[in-house]
Amino acid sequence: MTQASHSAEQTFSVTHRSVLAIAIPMTFAYLSTPILGVVDTAVIGRLGDAALVGGIAIGGVIFDLVFTTFNFLRSGTTGLTAQAMGAGNNSEIKATFLRALVIALVAGLAVILLQAPFLDLGLSFLGGSSEVQSATRRYFEIRIYSAPFLLANYAILGWFLGLGRAGTGLMLQLVLNGLNIGLSIFFVMGLGWSIEGVALATVLSEIAATLFGLILILRAVRGTSWPALADVFDRRLFLRMLAVNRDIMIRSFSLLFAFAFFTARSADQGDVMLASNAILEKFFIVGGYFLDGLATAAEQLVGRAIGARHRPAFDRTIRLTTVWSFVLAALLAIFYFIAGPALFDLMTISPDVREIGRIYLPWAALTPLLAVLAFQMDGVFIGATWSKDMRNMMLLSLAIYIAAFYALFPLLENHGLWLSLEIFLGLRGISLAFICRRRADETFAAARP
C-alpha cells in the first residue's frame, strides 16, 4: 500500500469473536508464567536446602524489578504495531518491530554491563542470610545473560499481538516457558546442577524463544521488502516510540511502588499480618493474569481502530471489552468468596495466619471488580498510545492512595490499608474512563481529512 493511501479510513468490524480470539489465547499465555515460577521453586525445593529456595526467590524479585522496567517493549510495540496495521502501512509495521528490537538489544546489553550495582542494590534492599545471598549471586550471575534475549522476546511478542496474532503469541509463550520448565527439571534433577541449572535453563530458553520468534517473523514478512534504515531510525517516529515507552515505564514503576508500599505497611504490622496479606495479594495477582487477556484484546483492537481512523470499531471495542471484563471479574470475585478459605488454607498451615486471612478475605475477593476497569483502560490507552494520560492518572491515583492510607490506617488499621489499595485500583480505572471519550473525540476529529 502506498503512503498516499494511508490517510484513507480502513474499516473493519469488531465482534465478540474477534475480542475472544485474542483474549483467550493470551490468558493461557500469561498463566504459563506463574506456573514456571512454581516449577522452578519446586525443583530447587526438592534439593532440601532452604537457602537455595530463598536464593531463587530473592533473585526472582530482583529480575522482576529490573525487567518490569522494560515491559513497555511488549505493550508499547503492540499499540504502535496495531496502529500501523490499522493504517495499512506495511512498511511502518516492520519498522516498528526493528525499532523495538534495537531498543531491546541496547537495553539488554546495558543491564549486563550494570549487573554488579543491580545485584548489590537488590541484595541490600531485600536482605537474607549470607547463605541465601550467596545462592542469589550464583543464580543472578548466570541468568543476567538472558537480558538481551528476554527483552527481544518482549518486542517479538508485542509485535505479533499488535497484528492480532494471539495464537502465535500463545505459541511463543508455551515454547519459552515449556522449554524452561523441561530444562530446569533436566539440569537440576537429572544432572544435579543445583541453582545454576535453573538459571542456565532460563538463559537457553530465552535464546531459543528469540530465534524461534525471529524465524516466525521472517516467515510472516516473506516476499516483502524491509524498510530502509532511514525510515527505521526516523527521528520523529523513534522519539515517539521512546516517549510512549518512557510513560509506560513510569506507569509500571509506580504500580510496583504501590504494591511494595502495601507489602511494607503489611510488614509493619508483624509477621502474621504480612503473611496473611501476602497470600491474599496473590489472589489479586492471579486474577490479574485472567484480566490481562482482555486488556490485550483492547490494546490490539483499539490500536487498529486508531490507525484505521475508524471510530465505530473503537467504540465497539470499548463496549465489548468492558462487558467481558466485568463478567470475568464478577466470576472471579464469586469464586474467591466461595473457594477463598479453602485456597488460603492450601497456602499456609499456620492457624494464626489462617484466622487473620479469613477476616480480610472479602477485600481480596473484591479486588477483581474494583480493579477491572483499570486493567481494561490500560489496554485501551496503550493501544491508542495515550501513554501520557495513563502515566498522569497513575501518578494521581498513587498520591491519593498514599494519602488515603495515612488518613484511614489510624482509624481502621489493616482494613484501612486494604481500603486504600482498593481506592487506588478503582480510581485508576475511573479516571482513565472519564477522560477516554474526550481523548477519542480529539483523536478521531484530528484524523478527519
Report the pLDDT value the prediction gives residue 228, as an integer from 0 to 100.
84
Extract long-range pairs of 107-115: CB within 8 Å, 24+ residues apart.
107/70, 107/73, 107/147, 107/151, 108/147, 108/148, 108/149, 108/150, 108/151, 108/152, 109/147, 109/148, 111/66, 111/144, 111/147, 112/144, 112/145, 112/147, 112/148, 115/140, 115/141, 115/144
Task: Give the amino acid at 245.
Answer: N
Report the pLDDT value the prediction gives residue 274, as an integer from 0 to 100.
76
Report the pLDDT value the prediction gives residue 369, as an integer from 0 to 100.
93
Q: Where does 129-234 have alpha helices with state H?
A: 130-143, 147-162, 166-185, 194-220, 229-232
Report the pLDDT value the prediction gives residue 449, as an integer from 0 to 100.
52
All three cell numbers of 79: 499499540
Report the pLDDT value the prediction gives residue 1, as an integer from 0 to 100.
37
pTM of this structure: 0.81
Report the pLDDT value the prediction gives residue 37, as an integer from 0 to 100.
63
**Tens digits of per-residue pLDDT, 400-443?**
999 999 999 999 989 999 999 999 999 999 999 999 999 999 98
**Tens digits of per-residue pLDDT, 168-204?**
888 898 898 888 888 988 887 778 788 788 888 889 9
* Residues of the chain below pLDDT 50: 1-8
Report the pLDDT value the prediction gives residue 265, as an integer from 0 to 100.
84
Report the pLDDT value the prediction gives residue 28, as an integer from 0 to 100.
82
* Ramachandran angles phi, psi of 9, nearest 5°: -70, 130
The C-alpha cell 465497539 sits at 316
The answer for residues whose C-beta is within 8 angstroms of residue 127's C-beta and 6 or more apart is none
Report the pLDDT value the prediction gives residue 415, as an integer from 0 to 100.
95
Element (H, E) at 31: helix 16-45
Confirm if 383 and 79 have CB atoms less than 8 A apart. Answer: yes
The C-alpha cell 492518572 sits at 393
